[in-house]
Amino acid sequence: MEFSFDINQLFPERVSILDQTIVAGPKSALRPDLQAHIATVIDELGRASAKAQQLPAAITSASKLQSQRHQLYLLKDGESNGGRGVVVGFLKVGYKKLFLLDRQGEHVEAEPLCVLDFYIAENMQRHGYGLELFDFMLQHKNLEPVLMAYDRPSPKFLSFLAKHYCLTPSVPQANNFVVYEGFFLNRSAAQLRKVPLKKPDGEIKPYSLMTREVVRQEERARPWPFAPPHSPQRSGSSQCSHSLSVESSPSRTPPQAAPASSPGSNRDQRPQSPLIERCRIRRTR
């Protein structure tokens, strides 16, 4: 990938490592205009990578690199373009906290180094540049590729990993990351932490014993209009339907039989039905 400015002036090394400062080489010797050129290179590489992977938007840019703790390895060919140099490609990595599934299907929490974006210019592919860049990153991190996770790798990248590092097959995951069997076998217990299974949803319990007792009473209560006057079933309709209610006692105890009236007691203290009244008149006559 060619640019109108001198690539060798921006990136003194064949492989430059960029971080949040987006500065390659001695930071004190970089002018503001050169740093703007570096940002232009990163943005162009990000757009080219998104286009090659058919992504709706670029996942690598100078602004994103400044706001995230990622590292970008940039490979150049300093002798091309009349000695001004060209950019061959880049590799972006960073640590991510992931919840992964091992071979037994158990959830495992890990924070591995992840390959987040990897791009080699189309006219530079199949010349060994990708392998050179990837090996440089592995040596710099002192890490084996099987211990890394790969974010949404393209089929071409998966073939690259299988060909050069024998990474196959992968362990299926529910997210966009790809990991391989050795990822779980070659790590210590301190690096991998199993996530406890979520408790099954049981019966929803009231918050307190008092609330729990109210719920039990409501479940045992008779439906309106047979509920007691102060029960929840009648709380909303007691004011407007009191005349329609049936005789009931405020307690839950079953009604007891009324004692027999004494001979001198007043029989009109309780209302009598018409049939009982007629029988009383006949006996009197």
Q: Please indicate if the annotation marks 130 as binding a ligand.
A: yes
- Residue 127 labeled ligand binder: yes
Ligand-binding annotation for 95, yes or no, is: no
Q: Is 156 annotated as a binding residue?
A: yes
DSSP string covering 130-166, please? HHHHHHHHHHHHT--GGG-EEES--HHHHHHHHHHH-
Asked if residue 120 belongs to a known ligand binding site, the reply is: yes
Binding site annotation covers 155? yes
- Residue 125, marked binder: yes
**Is 17 annotated as belonging to a binding site?**
no
Annotated binding-site residue? 157: yes
152 is in an annotated binding site: no
154 annotated as a binding-site residue: yes
* Residue 89 marked as a ligand binder: no
Is 99 labelled as part of a ligand binding site? no
52 has binding-site annotation? no
161 among annotated binding-site residues: yes
> Is 129 labeled as ligand-binding?
yes
| Residue 159 assigned to a binding site | yes
Residue numbers in the known binding site are: 118-131, 154-163
Residue numbers in the known binding site for acetyl-CoA are: 118-131, 154-163
